[in-house]
Amino acid sequence: MASLSRAMGPATRRRRRRLRPSRLKTAPQAKATVERRRIPYPALRSLPEPAPLAMPEQRLDQGPGRLAPLLDVGLRRVLLIGLTLAMTGAAGMRMADILAPGGLGFADVGMLILFCILFAWIAFAFLSGVAGLVLTWRAAGAPWRPRPVIFTRTALLAPVYNEDPDRVLAGLEAIYEDLVACGVAELYDIFVLSDTRDPDIARAEATGVLRLRARTGAPDRFFYRRRALNRDRKAGNIAEWVTACGGAYEAMVILDADSLMSGDTLVRLTAELERDPKAGLIQTLPTIINGSTLFARMQQFAGSLYGPMVARGQAWWSGAEGNYWGHNAIIRTRAFADCAGLPHIPGGKPFGGHILSHDFVEAALLRRGGWAVRMAAHLDGSYEEAPPSLVDMAVRDRRWCQGNLQHSAVLPARGLHWVSRLHMARGILSYATSPLWLGFLILGGVVWAEQRHESGGPPSAALVLFGVTMAMLMAPKAMASAMAFGQAGVRRAYGGTTRLLAGVVAELVLSSLMAASMMLMQSRAVVDVLLGRDSGWNAQTRDDPQISLADAWRRHRRHTAVGLAWVVVAGLLDPMLLAWTSPLALGLVFSVPLTVWTSRANRPGRRGLFQTPEDAAPPRVISRANALRLRHEGERAARLEIERLMSEPVPPHVPAAVRVQPWRQEADLIS
């Protein structure tokens, strides 16, 4: 276009500017053109024939009586909870003996209560991990099963909110191609359900779907709908689709903007839903991929190595009362419509209003309605991405914290299964444990100082108990690592023995150093929620942020001050106390450089640290999605130029047959 403009010459360009039709139109015509250009939404709204499905709002003050069991896992739960209580009781009595000689003061009682709560949390996770270890070891030699034949018509739903269209559409195209390769693409329709508020992003979404249809040659497989009103966020977005189109689909798979699922996994997941007529929801375990910073790669490595064992352990005791993580799961559409219409909680934010962490509640309501909620921990081929930095994880955790704490208003709901309540209680505690740990450390310092003053130092039994507690905390990672080292094929997938060992040690060191900052940030998030501060709704950062030193200092300056204060106080009280808490102290003191360093790009081929099986042999759907995203990004400049040309007025000397206004062209695409 630049060369064409130069060839026209200055006189021709001036004459073209004088002859712009916008200056020759009548007032009504000009006004209509302006109004068309002010439309904030793309005209494309492509949906199949309406198939409405009622989705009544559920009541929390009414519910069924006792729920019939769907899977016989009662003995497992008795064993798990009984051992947790026994271990906690024994450890609590030992702690009481340690604190008793000087008399139980206020600090001693508070420390004992916090210790029992935190120890029970650790013991439960430890025992669940042991169960997961046994199951994972047994499954290591399981034979490969041929892909089943399926018949269920399924919708793949991708709710988006101000996300990068290139990422979303590339992933959906890769999923579709994988379904074509499996020979089942005609059973799956793909919907982009947009809540995007940015008109530029929305236009890119709409035009991207059109280009996707043209490239795949499957215009009847891709659909797009953008809501004018973002009622109830993601849950409302999905509910609106259910009430408009849900009647045409027996099942739906919920995807996130960064979700990927292989065609083989989708087929096997659909087959599991077909085999179990009582199943309302089956959740997969997403594996983290595409980490490009040191922090993201650390999360990817930890999730890949430790995640399957933890998930199998949770599935072992959850049974039909499993949980839902909001994406990469298949749901029986009619069951969801009948049981999972979310009510609004009375009161103002942050506890009242729309339920933010809707997934836990939807799973509980499905089980209340008599449907099984299971986890398919044995299925791989399900993927997601991780936040690229500690700061971005804290921002995401702030929203999750508010949503999980909001579940305190749902816990008393009538008719819920007690395991569903347990999932919500554990979700609340996942954030409440941070201020509890902080309180425990503060009280522990006070008690340590008192005992040192009275007896010359804390008894060795306290150090032994502390060591046992920390060992149980680290045990799930140790068990999963030991199992990986015991299998030659797994070692090779992680880059060999040396790289695997280096990854385990580096992950342990970095996660231990970052634990203190995460504890303080989550404690701050809990306080903010309790003070009534709403987290808002912003798109998640998914690409490399490259946190600057100034930004890291702004985020961590208080953490650094707390770390320095702890070093001084603990050093004055007892050098042994400082030695035992040195990982926390060092993590706080060096939180600024640690965040900056781990937010830098760290590709797997650079040093080989944190290599995962998906790096060594990327599955087809991952490789294809990454290649398609690069192609989408390479076309971005061309799309912008086309949009600019389409928005320019048409000169009067252009034949009338091609003189079509751009918004009119988009309006013709409405279906």
Sheet holding 260-261, edge to edge: 260-261, 382-384, 287-288
pTM to 2 decimals? 0.87
Cα–Cα distance, 132 to 126 (Å, whole number): 10
Rounded mean pLDDT, 564-585: 87
Q: Which of 655, 656, 625, 661 is nearest to 164 (CA)?
A: 625
| Contact predicate 34/659, CB 8 Å | no
Within 227-353, where are the H helices? 233-245, 263-275, 294-318, 333-339
Cα–Cα distance, 614 to 624 (Å, whole number): 13
Average pLDDT of the residues of the chain: 86
Tens digit of each residue's pLDDT (9 = 90 or more) over 461-517: 777 888 889 899 999 999 999 999 999 999 999 999 999 999 999 999 999 999 999
Beta-bridged to residue 281, according to DSSP, are: 331, 373
| Contact predicate 155/191, CB 8 Å | yes
Question: Structure tokens of 323?
Answer: 């949980």
- Burial track 287-308 (b if 16+ CB lie within 10 A, e otherwise): bbbbbbbbbbbbbbbbbbbbbb
| Contact predicate 628/164, CB 8 Å | no
33 pLDDT more than 50: no
More confident residue, 576 or 355: 355
Which pLDDT band, with edges at 50, 70 and 90, does 5 fall under? very low
31 pLDDT more than 50: no
Tens digit of each residue's pLDDT (9 = 90 or more) over 307-344: 999 999 999 999 999 999 999 999 999 999 999 999 99
Tens digit of each residue's pLDDT (9 = 90 or more) over 79-116: 999 999 999 999 999 999 888 876 788 888 999 999 99
Question: Which residue in this structure is represented by tokens 């290139």?
Answer: 166
